Amino acid sequence: MRTEFIVSDEVFYITTAIYYVNDVPHIGNASEAIAADVVARYERARGRKVIFGTGTDENAIKVAEVAASSGISPQQYVDSMVPVWSDTWRAMHIQCDDWVRTTEPRHRRVVEAAFSKMLENGDIYKDLYKGWYCVSDETFFRESEVVDGLCPNPECRKAVRWVEEENYFFRLSAYQDRLLEYIEANPGFLAPEFRKNEVVSFIKAGLRDACITRKAYGWGIPVPGDPDQVIYVWFDALLNYLTIAGYLSDERKFAETWPADVQLVGKDIFVRFHSTLWPAMLMSLGVELPRLIHGHGFWTVEGGKMGKSLGNAIAPVKVSEDLAAMSGADFDVAVDAIRYFLLREVSFGLDGDFSTSGLIGRFNSDLANDLGNLLNRTLPLLHRHRDGVVPTPSPDDHDSRAVSVMIPATAAEVARRLDQLQFSDALAAIWGLVGRANKYMEEQAPWRLANEESSAKLDTVLYTVLETVRSIAIMIRPFMPTVSEVIWKQLGIEKPLADQTWADASTWGGLKPGTKTGAPEPIFPRIDTKRKPIEPAPTPAPKEEKKVEQISFDEFKRLDLRIGKIVTADRVPGADKLLQLTVDMGTETRPVVAGIAQWYAAEDLVGREIVVVANLAPAVIRGVESRGMLLAADENGTAILIQPDKEVPPGSAVR
Ligand code: MSP
């Protein structure tokens, strides 16, 4: 375990992935940044110098395409999108120290220098690229990887494009053995273990040299000395981690900051990019590898994949506003509750599901009942019987000591869990202490002791609980910075919370007798679950109207449109807009979920013929499987089903 308090020149450097700005942030992206923020805040509380770096990945083809479809220049487009991300992060209490934009000159210089260095050392060469490219994932794929003309990444599955260009390549294959040796010799380099195993299998399957440029398309960093080519967005983006650390611009900063201590990324970009291409690039540059790269899981929503196109992406600020409106809590408290939920609900590294009922459950039980109540029932007693002034406890009270001994043990356990990025377990440890203090309250029943106004026992019980809350406030601060401040204010402690170190959390007696506490106010008002729950917040619509994109006949041919006959139709429980259909497709009957319940009664649909997109990737919508989508005209927001002119056999193709 790391020591409690560290004073050194070495910077604790933590990074997240940098964000594609062709889209707006959702809770999946936010959960990664919140995790990094918690670690950064915790390390600062332990006295470390911290650099928490994040930023925006702006030189992507998809960014140029969205800008073009909006009729503005890519630069105007990215300039308008960066504040959308940075403002969201600020609202979510994510406090980063640097925000790199890959269009900045400081980053461009690093990318150009790195490219030139690798060209000089022979790791970059020119050749013909023939293969597929997925614009959505900004990834090159070989023929054998592409499935039915679609991106093989299960999170993407969009159509890939054929590319045949004279490009530059990075000699990734030359690093295959060195990468495997490094991973073997440094067991802590990649986590979690099961994802590390995926990396090893991926590398062992054989690494091909990586295409690292594209024919210039008017956006991106040009290849030094060859302006007909631009540098591939991933080669460019990965280097952001060096830019922030001061590589080639600030020798001293770089020496203090690099290697990065923790790099957090999602599972979709862990294997191919962060655990393979990135370390190989660093090896080629002769730069030390990061200490830890961690690949976390993905968030789904109400059991289904989350995506803008699916219309269910949860916007972090909107869901915080909804939670505040539902509960009556302050917005900043609701933000902290979302932070708590995202890190408590799943074991970091695994996939998690965001559901309104799950969120309300955690809010009511962990926050309102457990933590909120601990303070809510103690402070009013203190005000009623001791004028709100912290009393002096009896020394050597056996029952009080049973609680106080838990505090250093809990602080150590939380530290141990945070060192291993086990956020949920760290919170569970803190809540173990919350639970113990609540149990102590019930055992001691201070409301009964209150009859004997001078009771030393009452003094001890009130002190013990409030002193435990003081320690809890310090421990939850990395997770819930506003809530901890509110608690601190109610405790009335003069010394600012910001000056408290992690060691202060584990030392008994920080709350001084005689302290005048603040007014008791419930922080987490319970949510009345009988009221209508919030619906997942839709992602805000893009600002500009999109131009209609043209597709080729070949692209159209990839759609498998067929006639289906509805055999059964039922409402999806708990979803106002959804119907669950079974559709006869000629050769099989398949489930299709359709968002038409507002306009069609289930019983009117049975026996009708409809047009189905038969080769749409299966999805789970509100827990119900859907294999296909029906077509309907959109008349000012009302769905009108498309039906064949006369009855045709189910399964007939529509061309
Ligand atoms: N621009 C690249 C990263 C370049 S890093 C040198 C990128 N950007 S992203 O905006 O698409 O994703 C940012 C981060 O959010 C990634 O780590 C990604 O894995 C993560 N997530 C995207 N969707 C997610 C969920 N549904 N759930 C959790 N994290 C998710 O990839």
Residue whose Cα lies nearest atom 16 of ligand 1: it is 266
pLDDT at 527 over 80: yes
pLDDT at 638 over 70: no
pLDDT score, position 544: 43
Task: Count CB-CB contacts under 10 A for residue 556.
Answer: 10
pLDDT score, position 5: 44
Q: Which residue has the tokens 């009708």?
A: 608
- The rounded radius of gyration (Å) of the Cα atoms in the chain is 28
Asked if 296 and 265 count as a contact pair (C-beta separation under 8 A), the reply is: yes
Asked if 129 and 163 count as a contact pair (C-beta separation under 8 A), the reply is: yes
Of 73-82, 213-222, 335-344, 533-542, least confident by mean pLDDT is: 533-542
Tens-digit pLDDT profile for residues 375-415? 999 999 999 999 999 999 999 899 999 999 999 999 999 99
Asked if 320 and 326 count as a contact pair (C-beta separation under 8 A), the reply is: no
pLDDT at 479 over 90: yes
Confidence of residue 458 (pLDDT cuts 50, 70, 90): very high
pLDDT score, position 474: 98
Buried b (16+ CB within 10 A) or exposed e, 389-417: ebbebeeebeebeebbebbbebbbbbbeb
pLDDT at 636 over 60: no
Of 105-119, 300-314, 464-478, least confident by mean pLDDT is: 300-314
Of 106-110, 203-207, 615-619, least confident by mean pLDDT is: 615-619
Span 169-189, mean pLDDT? 98
Span 94-112, mean pLDDT? 98
Q: Which residue has the higher pLDDT, 322 or 628?
A: 322
pLDDT at 455 over 60: yes
Most ligand 1 atoms within 8 A of CB, residue of 29, 81, 298 to mutate: 29
| Of the candidates 475, 500, 463, the residue with the CA atom closest to the CA atom of residue 410 | 475
Distance 429 CA to ligand 1 centre (A): 29
Measure Cα distances from 428 to 343, 413, 417 in Å: 10, 10, 10
Tens-digit pLDDT profile for residues 19-46? 999 999 999 999 999 999 999 999 999 9
Of 128-142, 355-369, 541-555, least confident by mean pLDDT is: 541-555
pLDDT score, position 38: 98
* CA–CA separation, 336 and 338 (whole Å): 5
Distance 338 CA to ligand 1 centre (A): 19
Confidence of residue 148 (pLDDT cuts 50, 70, 90): confident
- The mean of the pLDDT values for the chain is 91
Numbers of helices and strands, H then E, in the chain: 23, 25
H or E element, residue 222? strand 222-223
pLDDT at 637 over 70: no
pLDDT at 549 over 70: no
* CA–CA separation, 394 and 521 (whole Å): 28
Instruction: Give the pair of three-digit tokens for residue 257.
Output: 């900051």
Task: Count CB-CB contacts under 10 A for residue 205.
Answer: 8
Most ligand 1 atoms within 8 A of CB, residue of 21, 269, 302, 351 to mutate: 269
pLDDT at 186 over 80: yes
Beta strands in 273-430 (DSSP E): 293-296, 299-301, 352-354
Q: Which residue has the tokens 């910001």?
A: 498
pLDDT at 3 over 50: no
Task: Count CB-CB contacts under 10 A for residue 197.
Answer: 11
- Answer whether 20 contacts ligand 1 (Cβ < 6 A): yes
Residue whose Cα lies nearest atom 5 of ligand 1: it is 17
Confidence of residue 535 (pLDDT cuts 50, 70, 90): low
